[in-house]
Structure 1
Amino acid sequence: MSECVSPQFNFILRIGEVEREYRIGGRQAWALHELVRMGQKGCSYADNPAPRWPAYIHKLRVLGIEIETRKEKNRGLFPGFHARYVLKSQVSISNSRGADGAQFAKAS
């Protein structure tokens, strides 16, 4: 039986002139990487499926990361709205490894 290894990386959060370094893993690491990668377009389960986007966003916000929530109308057969999350904080990612040990693409 193979062991499941979650992605992990260090990131630097800049708020004003202050920089803080963190290490996170799992789905929060994946979600932050996606937010950085997508830039001002942001991320939504509508085009970037993940089971618990709101939970990942909440945990990142607890760390002090500013993430905007935009309300978007659903397209297609199902009426209603969904959230799109856009990273507003300055974040740099380094020393990142995926579940398979491969290096994540650096994003900043």
Structure 2
Amino acid sequence: MTARTADSGNSGRQTQKSPLLVSTTRLPAYSPFINDKDPPMTKAVKPYYSLRVQPFDDNNEPSGLPITVTGRECWTLRKLIDAGAKGVSSLDNIGPRVSHYVFKLRGYGLAIETIHEKHGGDFPGTHARYRLHSKVTILEVSDRRAA
């Protein structure tokens, strides 16, 4: 099989094409299934959590605009609100990087106290406990879960 090419490097010469690159059958659009009897796949939707809160000052007046947090920041803020004066520690919630989410929440202007506590056990040391000191009111909660 010969074909004439129009690129400038070949100057119109005839070239031999490999039979492996030429197909006489058209392939269907991409399908992860072996046959057409399998049902089509649907894309999984990740859970999406958001929390909209209004911070207040010491006189119970709104302090700035409402804040909307999503994902792990939302989870951490909910934990801080629910814990009250007890606070939240990474020892209570193994896994999430509580310190990082608290750092990000402080960026929104929320007052969060860090208390360093000693602990014993096989690996004695210290850990942090976080307490929310800002007064906030929850305006909206969104928890779209995976379908």
TM-score (norm 1): 0.83
Q: CA deviation at 1:84?
A: 0.3
Q: Structure 1 residue 18 and structure 2 residue 56: aligned? A: no
Amino acid at match of 1:37: D
Gap change, CA 1:99 and 1:79, over 3 Å in 2: farther
Q: Structure 1 residue 29 and structure 2 residue 74: aligned? A: yes
Tell which has more relative contact order, 1 or 2 (C-alpha 8 A, sep 6+).
1
Q: CA deviation at 1:50?
A: 3.8
Secondary structure at the aligned position of 1:18 is classed as: coil
Higher helix share: 1
Taking the aligned partners of 2:113 and 2:84, their CA distance within structure 1 comes to 12
Q: Structure 1 residue 71 and structure 2 residue 116: aligned? A: yes
Amino acid at match of 1:87: L
Indicate which of 96, 99, 104 corresponds to 1:59: 104
Secondary structure at the aligned position of 2:99 is classed as: helix
Which residue of structure 2 lines up, in the alignment, with residue 43 of structure 1? 88
Taking the aligned partners of 2:140 and 2:88, their CA distance within structure 1 comes to 23
Which residue of structure 1 lines up, in the alignment, with residue 29 of structure 2? none
Deviates more, 1:92-101 or 1:52-61: 92-101
In structure 2, the gaps of 5 or more residues are 1-42
Taking the aligned partners of 1:51 and 1:90, their CA distance within structure 2 comes to 24
1:74-104 Cα offsets, whole Å, 9 max, x none, are: 2321111000000000011132122528xxx
In structure 1, the gaps of 5 or more residues are 102-108
RMSD: 1.7
Percent of paired sites with the same residue: 36
Taking the aligned partners of 1:27 and 1:48, their CA distance within structure 2 comes to 12
Gap change, CA 1:99 and 1:30, over 3 Å in 2: farther
Poorly superposed stretches of 4+, deviation over 6 Å = none
Contact 2:54-2:62 within 8 A present in 1 as well: no
